[in-house]
Amino acid sequence: MNSRLVAWVAVAAVLMLTAVAGMFPASPVQAEPAPVARGAGNACWVLMDFDAFSCGLCLDALVDFCRALPQTVQERCVRGILACRAPQGKEAAARQAGIIAKKWNGFRKANDIRFPVFIDAGHLFAAGLGSGPAVLLFDENAGTIRLYPLPLRPAQLEDVLAILRK
Amino acid sequence: MNIRTWTVVSAFVAVVLAGAPFGRAGGDVPKIVIEEALSIGTIDDDLLYQLTGVAVDSDGFIYVLDGMDYSLKKFDAGGLLVGKTGRKGQGPGEFKAPRLLDCSGSRLFATDQNNPGIQVFDRDLTFKTAIPCRSAVQAMRALGPDKVAVLTMRALGASSLQVLNAEGTLLSELSFADPKAGLLMDSASFTALPDGSFVIAYLFQDRVERWTAEGRRVWSRAVLGPKKVPTTKMDSPLGSLTLPTETCFHDIAADSRGRLFVLGGRMAKNAARDVFVLDADGRLFTTFTLPDTSHCLVIDGKDQLYVRANEGITLKKYRMRYE
């Protein structure tokens, strides 16, 4: 796993831990094992680097993954994150967000992609830029997150689909 | 004469000689002023998502390949969308990663990064035929309605510039690259001149070269100055590879006077914005800077300039005025 993938996982882990912390408000310490995240359901984040919009193979890998997902799964438990570099100045940031949204809209329509996508306006995922598209799989039963760089191998795709269909 | 005097005289001579190739004193350097004539595509419309290739026909119609929705679009001279074709796929008239576009007479020629060969359309955007091509195409110019020049990309061995007919038959081949230059170092764009010669601008070398169709190099020029292209080492099954990481030139086009407009890459002072204008003998005529970055540069029959803006969601047309 290269350093950028590690960075993706680290950022995701921080966000996950933050979410977990939010689910369990402060309470008196008890001598029991801390529970892992429950109730949020299995989920999948598709991480996409805006720079990869000019990479045909990266886009192909993303489309192939999306096509393998049933529409109901896409809409129910898949979310996309578009990471981008921090521009200089508020005006540039607004312009960049508009450009990214427009490009994604054209790509989404041409490829019938159904899951909602969020632009990483705070640049939380900037550390992972340049590593290509990837999937973060949140497995509720196992209490784990796993990172899969796209394109997925057939066995990996089966794993992801099996968990998302649960 | 003492050493100090020699140094001063040498420096003076060096400065004079350095300016000599340009043939101009500092005061009378010509200037090109660009004035926006047309802008197609904004953040709020659905006209362009990612401009990859541009071509203009003799009637002023503008054709654009769009990499985000896999389409070929046609605009009139006023920027009105008048036609659109294409979808994702590998069949006739379909694209996976549309890249290069050119126009000659009644025909449009389009390449795809992920599909081999060249697709030919008429000016109504009807698919007509496909020109087979053995290697991936990295640069292309239409030489006529049934003839095209392509610069092919090869993983091993030097690239070459090939002239193909409509059936894909090789009519001539120009071997311009140095096979010892290193991986990717022969990547280039090119333009074809009316006398049949070609001018090649290298992607990863500070070199612009003019070649005759017969394979003789007429001239070779460095434009960016004494800068070395940075490289990186990468491990591969073939061993450690040295790869360039910054581009010198992104595109080249010629105007009706035979002047050459070379779009600088990331090595230019203003990355992907500086345009170096050379005369037909390769001497630097002048430079100007685009308002926004572009990966391509097209000049139509009226010497109007077409470039990308807003990271590919906008196409700009500029009038060029000499001062």
| Residue that is written with structure tokens 């379909």 in the block | B94
pLDDT score for A8? 59
The answer to whether the beta carbons of residues B314 and B38 sit under 8 Å apart is: no
* B85 Cβ under 8 Å from any chain A Cβ: no
Residue with tokens 């430079």: B287
Asked if residue B320 has pLDDT above 90, the reply is yes
Q: Flag whether residue B49 sits within 8 Å of chain A, measured between CB atoms.
A: yes
Tokens of B245: 């990481």
Nearest neighbour of A103 by CB, restricted to B44, B49, B96? B49
- Phi and psi at A81, nearest 5°, equal -125, 125
In chain B, the residue whose alpha carbon lies closest to the alpha carbon of A105 is B49
Q: What is the mean pLDDT of residues B96-118?
A: 93
* Chains A & B: contacts with CB separation below 8 Å: 52
Which among A103, A104, A107 is the top mutation candidate for probing chain B, defined by the most B β-carbons within 10 Å of its own β-carbon? A103
For A92, nearest residue in chain B (alpha carbons): B310
**Owner of token pair 């120009």:** B174
Start-to-end CA span in chain B (Å): 44
Structure-block tokens of residue B196: 């049949």
User: Is the omega angle on the peptide bond into residue A151 within 30 degrees of 0, that is, cis?
Assistant: yes
* Confidence tier at A52 by pLDDT (50, 70, 90): confident
Whether B87 has its CB under 8 Å from any CB of chain A: the answer is yes
B79 Cβ contact partners less than 8 Å away, ≥ 6 residues apart: B38, B39, B40, B62
3-state DSSP call for residue A94? helix
| Greatest alpha-carbon span in chain B | 76
In this structure, are strands B284-289 and B297-299 parallel, antiparallel, or unpaired?
unpaired
Structure confidence at residue A71 (pLDDT)? 86
Residue ranges per structural domain of chain B: 24-61+72-81+135-322
In single-letter form, the type of residue at position A43 comes to A
Query: Tens digit of pLDDT for each residue in A98-123?
Result: 999 999 999 999 999 989 999 998 88
Q: Indicate the pLDDT class of residue B117, thresholds 50, 70 and 90.
A: very high
Separation between Cα atoms, residue A58 and residue A133, nearest integer Å: 6
> B68–A53: do the CB atoms touch at under 8 Å?
yes
pLDDT at residue A166 in the model: 78
Q: Position B266: which residue type?
A: R
Does A25 lie at the interface with B, CB-CB under 8 angstroms? Answer: no
Give residue B130's pLDDT: 96
Q: How far is A30 from chain B (nearest CA, A)?
A: 52
Q: Token digits for A35?
A: 């529970």
What's the average model confidence in pLDDT over B250-277? Answer: 97
Give the CB-side neighbour count of residue A57, counting CA atoms within 13 A. Answer: 6
Q: How confident is the model over B32-76, as pLDDT tens digits?
A: 999 999 999 999 999 999 999 999 999 999 999 999 999 999 999
pLDDT digits (tens, 9 = 90+) for B125-153: 999 999 998 788 999 999 999 999 999 87
Least confident of A149-158, B24-33, B262-271: B24-33
Contact B49 A60 (CB under 8 A): no
Residues from chain B that touch A59, judged by Cβ atoms under 8 A, are 97
CATH of B24-61+72-81+135-322, one of 1.10.3470, 1.10.1740, 2.60.40, 2.120.10: 2.120.10
Cβ contact A150:A48 at 8 Å:
no
Cis peptide bond N-terminal to A133, omega within 30: no
Contact by Cβ (8 Å): A164, A69? yes
Q: Assess: ipTM above 0.95.
A: no
Q: CB under 8 Å to B208, separation ≥6 — which residues?
A: B199, B200, B201, B202, B220, B221, B223, B249, B252, B260, B262, B276, B278, B282
Quick check: A103 and B313 CB within 8 A?
yes
Which domains are present in chain A?
3-15+42-165 (3.40.30.10)
What is the chain B residue with the closest CA to A60?
A: B96
> Is the CB of residue A111 less than 8 Å away from at least one CB of chain B?
yes
Closest CA to B230 of B262, B272, B264, B267: B267
Write down the pTM of the prediction.
0.82
Q: Residue A106 and residue B88: Cβ atoms within 8 Å?
A: no
